[in-house]
Amino acid sequence: MKNILFLILIPFTMFAKKPEDERGIYVKDQHSYSNPAEIVVQHLDLSLKADFSTKKLVGFVTLQVKNLTNADTLRLDTYNLKIESVKINDAPVTFILKPADEILGSELAIPITANTKEVTIYYETSPDAQALQWLNPEQTAGKKHPFLYTQSEAILARSWIPLQDTPGIKFTWTATIHCPKELMALMSCPQNPKQIGNGTYSFKMPFAVPSYLMALSIGDLAYKAYDNRSGIYAEPVMLAKAFHEFTDLPAMISSAEQLYGKYPWLQYDVLVLPPSFPFGGMENPCLTFATPTIITGDRSLVSLIAHELAHSWSGNLVTNATWNDFWLNEGFTVYFESRIMEKIYGKDYADMLNLLSQNELKHTVAEMGVNNPDTKLFLTLKVVILMMAWVILPMKKGVFSDGIRRSSRRYVGCIFKKYFEEHRFQTMTTKEFLHYLEVNLLQENPLIKQKVNVDEWVYGTGLPKSLPVIKSKYFDQVEKAAAAFIKQPTVMPDTAGWTTHHYLHFLRTIAPEMTYEKAVALDNHFHFTQIQNSEIAFDWFMIAFACHYKPAYKALENFLNTVGRRKFIAPLYRKAAADATLRPWIEQIYKSARPGYHAVAVKTIDEIFEGK
């Protein structure tokens, strides 16, 4: 009898392991063809020539691999790459490029032996490679030179480099980039801004990073430093304005360091891109890529920089192991962003930003439906489409952005510092993180555990019950002004001291009550139609559509033809496409604007018009 019990118990104790042990070193990633558990890329050397006339990157990459299991095949991710040849020890090998899947691309299978250390792949990108956007001079601020930039997150690195395209593995890299002499090349690694390339630029990334953090940009660029570790890259005509806007950058870096430990990547610069950049920002290591639409002249949209900087810890240092764990990257970052903002600009300012963002969250959840599985933090992405369409949710609902926030910040703050130290340059799954949280925080703090139902936060749909109530004294005043205007549209708010956020909250509060007449009154007073602030312009244009306020349409058309930031343009197209009286007109606009957008924006907006 005893023996039987013993036999029954053994299997259970065998499985009572920490989640870290369960997965092995590499978690299976359903969005990659690669087989890192068998053979893993540890370093890559890239050599590419940027040909602006054919819109191609042409060259080769050498992958240094470690064969862990005597594997006979190296499987790589590619998307629309033209593979010229593959060589091992200078000898060509016969590779197989499998049929393409629309989302994942094609698996490139390369035969290897137990002793294979290096594999070189000669290839070129396709002119419509998804990660790349090749801009004509007219699409830049200076209008004289072409421009190229990449956007690799989430699974687009494979469209410009054949590699193991999964966030679960990290490698170091070097690169040599050849470009036209008059242009400057930049990559996501520490770099010397004084490097006079003369058409050839060399890069070296000494820290291990995942593939989605590989980035390249080439254009007519100049640099201005704040200090010896931070500064701004922009087109020369934009540089002074951008430098002025982001002047708090050094303060942001030191605030972040106080919270999470020393900045780990040596250099932190911001590259201001042309307005077609599909995102607000992208946390490429050492070199955040940013949209110019946050440059307003009054520094009111710089929280985006705090966000991308915060990714230097959450995301870049400790990385989501798969895209299902995306909230570990984005949710934490939203929380850190808010902590950095509060440290520099004070609690009232941070409260205002938090409330604005929580309102956006509520709005999004209401639109998606409270039972929609995509409103969970932990995603189960059967297809990666969601990543490309990208919901706002993982960002805003980060457990720590709210749940445990004010009540227990002291504890949370210190476990994060420790958490980052202990997991530097590693990857993290949701399960592992929850285990860490349990052991390091919840077990010792039953009150927090009781208050915050972590499982509900992470695995539940809709909004968790412990979502905190955020109050903003500034917004209380704005709401009063909004109520007065709705009642009597001649009563205009007193906007002394207002920043972008007050205007946004005002417009969002009055939006449901807006009429054509009220739009006329507001526009006569504030001239919103002419406003250069893209955030305010966007809210105003949404109102203009709702009220059929035609005097704004020309400016709107102009906006859609210059700005490619998906957060703005997708809702505008969606709204107009759903309105039969506007549909033919907006289709025309899209037809002319589409060639100027990046592939990720095009994909989303194509789907709007296809009714998906």
Binding positions for ligand BES, rule: CB under 6 A: 153-154, 279-283, 304, 307-308, 311, 330, 387, 390, 395, 567
Q: Which is nearer to ligand BES, 146 or 315 (CB)?
A: 315
Report the residue number, 78 or 312, with the smaller CB distance to ligand BES: 312
Q: Which is nearer to ligand BES, 311 or 405 (CB)?
A: 311
Q: Which two tokens stand for residue 358?
A: 């929580």
- Between residues 153 and 539, which has the closer beta carbon with respect to ligand BES? 153
Partner from Zn ion, ligand BES, none contacting 178, C-beta within 5 to 8 A by type: none
Beta-carbon neighbour count of residue 312 at 10 Å?
A: 24
Shortest separation between residue 489's beta carbon and ligand BES, angstroms: 33
CB of 302 to ligand BES, least distance (A): 10
Q: Residue 567 binds which one of Zn ion, ligand BES, none, with CB within 5 to 8 A depending on kind?
A: ligand BES
Q: Residue 294: is it exposed, middle or buried by C-beta count within 10 angstroms (0-12/13-18/19+)?
A: buried
Q: How far apart are CA 169 and CA 26, in angstroms?
A: 7
The CB-of-98 to Zn ion minimum distance in angstroms stands at 32
Which letter does DSSP use for residue 69 in this model? Answer: S
What does the alpha-carbon distance between residue 461 and residue 443 come to, in Å, rounded to a whole number? 25
Residue 153 interacting partner from Zn ion, ligand BES, none (CB closer than 5 to 8 Å by kind): ligand BES
Q: Are 115 and 102 in contact (CB under 8 A)?
A: no
Nearer to ligand BES, 63 or 352 (CB): 352
Q: Are 188 and 270 in contact (CB under 8 A)?
A: no
Tell me the pairing of strands 171-178 and 39-51: parallel
Q: Which is nearer to ligand BES, 109 or 155 (CB)?
A: 155
Sheet holding 73-78, edge to edge: 73-78, 106-111, 96-97
Contact in structure between 545 and 576 (CB atoms under 8 Å): yes
> In the 8-state DSSP scheme, what is residue 469?
P
Q: At what angle do helices 534-547 and 566-577 cross, to 10 degrees?
A: 0
State the Cα–Cα distance between residues 272 and 549, nearest whole angstrom: 33
Rounded to a whole number of angstroms, the minimum distance from the CB of residue 299 to ligand BES is 15
Choice between 231 and 281, CB closer to Zn ion? 281
Residue nearest to ligand BES (CB): 280
Beta-carbon contacts of residue 492 (< 8 Å; ≥ 6 apart): 485, 522, 525, 526
**Closest approach of ligand BES to the CB of residue 152, in Å:** 8
Closest CB 508 distance from ligand BES, rounded Å: 17
Out of ligand BES, Zn ion, none, what residue 281 binds, judged by CB under 5 to 8 A for its kind, is ligand BES
Nearer to Zn ion, 276 or 333 (CB): 333
> At closest approach, how far in Å is the CB of 311 from Zn ion?
6
Smallest CA-to-CA distance from 502 within 476, 466, 534, 528 is with 476
Q: Which of residues 320-349 bind Zn ion (CB under 5 A)?
A: 330, 333
> Shortest approach of Zn ion to residue 283 CB, angstroms?
6
Residues that bind Zn ion (CB under 5 A): 330, 333
